[in-house]
Amino acid sequence: MEVYTTKGGKTDSGPILVLAHGAGAPADSSFMNRLAESLAAQGVTTVRFEFPYMARRRKDGKKRPPDRQPKLLEHYEQVIAEVMAGPLSGRPLFIGGKSMGGRMASLLAADPRLEGRFNGVVCFGYPFHPPGKMDRWRVDHFPAVWCPVLVVQGTRDPFGKPDEVIERVASFRKLKLSWLGGGNHDFLPLAKQPESQEDLIQQAAESAASFMGMY
């Protein structure tokens, strides 16, 4: 199984974040590369991987929809097992991802079979609902989550803006929110903002590293 490891910090004692891609972009997309580099600057080592459908796309160049959820979760679980058995074992382990990848990580955190295998979850741009479809919330599993979950979200994200999300998730004790002012789903700011996308990705990495340092 091919992975992309970006070492963080100057020691071998920092946290590990297994980082899954979103539905449409690979593990080495511009966003994922920048995020991994920003996390590394905060002392976080990331392990990126690709779900089977994306690995097939890399081989033949054909775009295809994501695998079904059970297959995505099974593959993610295999990656976690490999990381736990490899040279990075023994360090604080977190899982997460961009959009769909973060959602899959949060679903694993609601699986009682996996309790205790990782310390927490970090989601970058969580797809709380499809854009414009407020009747299709993807939060039913959060009450069952057994570890802390951080969602780093742009305030302009069509998959979940503050006025839509905050009240809806208020009762989920394990869930923490960190908002990026003006960011969209890919953390792109408004044109009039002084911050760049890189600045918002850096803010996201700082929030994630601070969260991981607590557990």
| C-alpha triplet 203, 164, 72: angle, nearest 5° | 70
Give the confidence band of 40 by pLDDT, cuts at 50, 70, 90: very high
Closest CA to 175 of 201, 204, 205, 141: 141
Q: What is the pLDDT of residue 126?
A: 98
- Whats the size of the chain, residue-wise? 215
Q: If you average pLDDT over every residue of the chain, what do you get?
A: 96
pLDDT in tens, 139-153: 999 999 999 999 999
pTM listed for this prediction: 0.96
Report in angstroms the alpha-carbon separations of 40 from 31, 155, 190: 14, 25, 26
Q: Residue 11: what pLDDT?
A: 74
Give pLDDT, residue 2. Answer: 81
Count of C-beta atoms within a 10 Å radius of residue 142: 19
Mean pLDDT of 179-190: 98
What pLDDT is recorded for position 208?
Answer: 98
Q: To the nearest whole percent, how much of the chain has pLDDT over 90?
A: 95
Lowest mean pLDDT among 9-23, 85-99, 165-179: 9-23
Mean pLDDT of 113-135: 97
Both tokens assigned to 211: 């969260």
Predicted confidence (pLDDT) at residue 18 exceeds the cutoff of 80: yes
Q: Can you give the C-alpha Rg of the chain in angstroms?
A: 16
The pLDDT tens digits of the residues spanning 47-74 come to 999 999 999 999 999 999 999 999 999 9
Quote the CA–CA distance of 204 and 97 in Å, as a whole number.
12
- Taking a C-beta distance cutoff of 8 angstroms, is the pair 190, 182 a contact? yes
Indicate the SS3 state at residue 150: strand
Residue 10 has pLDDT above 80, yes or no: no
